[in-house]
Chain A
Amino acid sequence: MTYLDHAATTPMLPEVLAAMTEQLGRVGNASSLHASGRAARRSAEQARERLAEALGARPSEVLFTGGGTESDNLAVKGLFWARRDADSRRRRIVVSPAEHHAVLDSVEWLAKHDGADITWLSVEPTGRITPEALRAALGDGDDVALASVMWANNEIGTVSDLAALAEVAHAVGVPLHTDAVQAVGQVPVDFTASGVDALTMTGHKLGGPMGAGVLLLRRDAECTPLLHGGGQERDVRSGTLDVAAIVGLQVATSTAVRTREERAVRVSALRDRLVAGVMAQVPDVQLNGAPLDDVVAGGPGRLPGNAHLSFPGAEGDALLMLLDARGVECSTGSACSAGVARPSHVLLAVGADADRARSSLRFSFGHTSTDADVDAVLDVIGPVVERARRAGLGRR
């Protein structure tokens, strides 16, 4: 099997499995005062410190959550509520239309149910949000509750310069949240150096467990909780700590950050060979997002493991099915829970037409990817595209 869907989820690292298995055999609530509780708390707090170190944050800025979606919801809603409650004029949310649905749907929920006004940022054709675009959208910032811009796009892999964006936001006193789920472990991410106020990450995109995420939240950022209860995590996120998941998340993150440079070199070479090979067989294929060698703020302008391609005249879901039948696993981008393929909102946001958006595939490489994976795709892609084109569209 050829697994090229690391942006969806990644195989668990052996050291994560070992660390979690050890924890799962233990008893102890990290909030308890006895010896078992203290042992659990020690493991969780040690993980918090190591995680903070890997991400350039302080331990007190690490809030453990149930994953990326929860962290995005908590940041967007929590910052909105806190900022609006402090000053009722702050009802505007400045956000990119290419965000993950965890951000988009949170923002739209606030607009529908809680009086928020949405200002959509203009997106570069590469998918990048520029400081100029953010500055224009923020205005004097008086009426803005927060801005949210993802660090790296989950579909097309485009990286934005969050440090520059944070500077623009702070110049008018607006807090900035970033969804860095795809960025951590792929590109350099330093929370403090970036200046962002809140940062979402999750474990399973970098070799850790599902259901374990983090919101990095600056000490001075007011955030209203979604979950009320025992007052864990600075009173912002109540709930008994899942120590095994937290330890797994930390081991995965520390490993991914430590091995990032070496892996980026290896993975981007695989990705580049795949794209070149596909282009040789399907000359009219289109690369979506930033150029493969793009640079932003001195680092990669595109996730090293991301190849997002449109195959004119073929439907993404037909391509996916044909590749799946030949043992190649990739993605068409977003599908709703009913599984109906829809044109990617990200591609539409960067100006692609619906046909281009519908004809796309994402191949995403990660820590287990090899040359054999590239070969497996290149062995079948030509006939697969040809067949999918013959199948045409389910429409006239």
Chain B
Amino acid sequence: MRLLAAMSGGVDSAVAAALAVDAGHDVTGVHLALSPDRQTLRSGARGCCSVEDAHDARRVADELGIPFYVWDLAERFTEDVVDDFVAEYAAGRTPNPCLRCNEKIKFAAVLDRAQALGFDAVVTGHHARLADGQLRRSVDPAKDQSYVLAVLTAEQLAGAVFPLGSMTKQRVREIAAERGFAVATKADSHDICFIPDGDTRGFLSRRLGEQPGPVVDAATGATVGEHGGTYGFTVGQRRGLGVAVGDSRPRYVLGIEPVTRTVTIGTAEQAGVTEVRTARPTWTGPVPRLPFHAEVQLRAHGTPVPCTVSAADDGGLVLRLGSEQRGVAPGQSAVLYAADVERGDLVLGQGTVVSAGHPVPA
């Protein structure tokens, strides 16, 4: 196949490209320049991280003897990922930008362009398995990235190749070291790539400004504190609430109301939910017949919970959870898995969380 390897400059995508070459494919490397600050890319020639990453990716491509190019997708990334991220927080939700980037950039803008240019598929270093069109969790549970890929449709998955899903991260690093890649020991990236210092609240406050509002105790309705902007909070959050309520029991964020800028907090009992409603879902394969039983993962790195999936009147899903959960934040993705002991968990699809609470008694 003619494959386009998206090379971030990290160890995973380097090894993924190498394995694609080993498998006998005709591979071309591409580094996606996503920094909205174009100037950084040029002045950064004197030492900014995105230029270093491009250099690292190019080094690996040169070692592999494959063509390598840089594609400037900054404009689309800014619109579809960064601006979306800010808008979601402004609306009181908690977005996942990596998921959005996979949905809109890597397996949309990049894949479309690759296919138009004559490539069959895009190779990435994601830790997930993809065989016969079926997306499954990685064999390395600590590194599994199926959660942020669950938004991909069957059509998008048909244009994707994930060579790393059946190996551990440790094995990836070993392969990189065996091949003498300089990136073999490069640190994993943990942060949101466009917030390199990790200070999400600071980034949002620069974009959205100071937006003070009340912190309200759900039990009494009393205002128990002030905050500088609802974007500093996420549903289920416990630390950093900056309020003192009479008793010493922990408090959690129960809800965020962006219009009145109200953050509602409550106790652990009040924070628990047993039903989650999502927006219109996407499916990685054939649309399943509703209702059905599945496992749902409600946030990146969350623990899967058994649930019953049924249709809501508005085209979304209603998920009845098998056990009470805390911290189900609107904006996060509810990813549905079919537990498959033999072959590993199969990703069925996902829906964006709209609300969470308890079933309304009939």
Contact = CB atoms under 8 A, between A and B. Distances in A.
Interface of A: 317-318, 320-322, 324-325, 335-342, 387-388, 390-392, 394-396
Contact of B28 (A325, A338, A392, A394): A325
Nearest to A335: B70
A321 B61 CA distance: 15
Contacts of A335: 70
A338 B76 contact: no
Contacts of B322: none
Contact of A391 (B33, B41, B54, B117): B117
Interface of B: 28, 31, 33, 38, 41-42, 44-45, 50-51, 54-55, 58, 67-73, 75-76, 109, 113, 116-118
B116 A391 contact: yes
Contacts of B45: 336-338
Given A336-B45, A338-B44, A342-B42, A395 B54 contact: no
Contacts of B117: 318, 321-322, 387-388, 391
A396 B80 CA distance: 11
Given A325-B28, A325-B67, A394 B41 contact: no
A321 B41 contact: no
B5 to A, nearest CB: 13
Contacts of B58: 339
A322 B28 CA distance: 11
A338 B75 contact: no
B51 A391 contact: no
Nearest to A391: B116
B50 A324 contact: no
A284 B142 CA distance: 54
A388 B42 CA distance: 25
B72 A387 contact: no
B299 to A, nearest CB: 31
A126 to B, nearest CB: 27
A395 B28 contact: no
26 contacts: A321-B28, A321-B69, A325-B28, A336-B42, A336-B45, A338-B33, A338-B54, A338-B55, A338-B70, A339-B31, A339-B58, A339-B68, A339-B70, A340-B33, A340-B38, A340-B41, A340-B42, A341-B70, A342-B42, A387-B117, A390-B116, A391-B117, A394-B72, A394-B76, A394-B109, A394-B113
A262 to B, nearest CB: 35
B69 A338 contact: no
B8 to A, nearest CB: 13
Contacts of B50: 338
B116 A317 contact: no
Contacts of B118: 322, 387
Contact of B51 (A320, A338, A341): A338
A396 B42 contact: no
A239 to B, nearest CB: 23
A320 B68 CA distance: 11
Nearest to B44: A338
B116 A340 contact: no
B44 A392 contact: no
A159 B142 CA distance: 62
B67 A321 contact: yes
Nearest to A336: B42
B41 A336 contact: yes
A375 B347 CA distance: 51
B109 A338 contact: no
Contacts of A336: 41-42, 45
A341 B116 contact: no
Given A339-B31, A387-B118, A392-B113, 19 more contacts: A317-B71, A321-B67, A321-B117, A324-B67, A325-B67, A338-B33, A338-B41, A338-B42, A338-B70, A339-B70, A340-B33, A342-B38, A387-B116, A387-B117, A391-B113, A394-B71, A394-B75, A394-B113, A395-B75
A342 B45 CA distance: 14
Contacts of B38: 340, 342
Contacts of A388: 117
A280 B23 CA distance: 41
B119 to A, nearest CB: 10
Nearest to B116: A391
Contacts of B68: 339
Residue among B51, B58, B71 with max Cβ neighbours from chain A (10 Å): B71
Contact of A339 (B28, B69, B109, B113): B69
A361 to B, nearest CB: 14
A336 B54 CA distance: 11
A264 B76 CA distance: 45
B44 A394 contact: no
B250 to A, nearest CB: 46
B30 to A, nearest CB: 9
Nearest to B31: A339
A338 B31 CA distance: 9
Contacts of A317: 69, 71
Q: Among A325, A336, A341, A394, which residue has the most Cβ atoms of chain B within 10 A?
A: A394
A321 B75 CA distance: 21
Contacts of A318: 113, 117
Contacts of B73: 394
A373 B38 CA distance: 36
Contacts of B42: 336, 338, 340, 342
A320, A335, A337, A388 pick with most chain B CB within 10 angstroms: A337
Contacts of A337: 45, 51
Contacts of B76: 394-396
B180 to A, nearest CB: 23
